[in-house]
Amino acid sequence: MRSCKYLHENKLRSIPLWDATVAEIRSWLRSNPIMRGEAALLPNRDGQAMSRSNVAQRLDLAVSRASVEQPSLLKKRVSPHILRHTTAMHLLQAGVPFNVIALWLGHESPMTTHRYVEADLAMKEKALGRLEAPDARIRRYQAPDALIRFLRTL
């Protein structure tokens, strides 16, 4: 496992990468030697870093191509935000602490992550399984004899 540092919105970020990902990036850089140094790793057609809309367009194209083999993709909503949300959910389901997920996503505060990370049904069932079920038997109230005597005097 290696880490990669990059600049995003004037903040230096660091993320872990699998060795296979590092190998793919190195292969990409060998094939594209002009993308070394300060150049964007995945540039737009002008050689600049991709904008959010560029990323969304490339993702739409990838989904369109993948739907030939997986037609069910056409019925799903796929966006960069959905991919971030899905990644966060997979990390949460794998037991990664919430504050680590927030850092992974580049959030300054874990509260930002709360906006779109919700526990799925399996996680809720697991949490419920950790608790002891309350005693929910309905019991009829039995007033003490002294209270009954007092009420009769009214």
* Whether the predicted model's global pTM rises above the 0.95 cut: no
Q: How many CB atoms lie within 10 A of CB 43?
A: 15
Q: Is 124 inside any structural domain?
A: no
Q: Is 38 inside any structural domain?
A: yes
Strands of 32-153 (E only): list them.
none
Q: Is 12 inside any structural domain?
A: yes
Q: Is 123 inside any structural domain?
A: no
Report how many domains make up the chain: 1
Q: Is 132 inside any structural domain?
A: no
Q: Which domain holds residue 23?
A: 1-46
Q: Is 3 inside any structural domain?
A: yes
Q: What is the pLDDT along the chain (154 residues), one digit of tens a residue?
A: 676 666 666 777 777 788 888 888 889 888 888 777 778 888 888 888 888 899 999 999 999 999 999 999 999 999 998 888 888 888 888 888 888 888 777 777 777 777 656 666 677 777 777 777 667 676 778 889 999 899 898 8
Question: Which tokens in the block code for residue 34?
Answer: 């002009």
Q: How many CB atoms lie within 10 A of CB 102?
A: 19
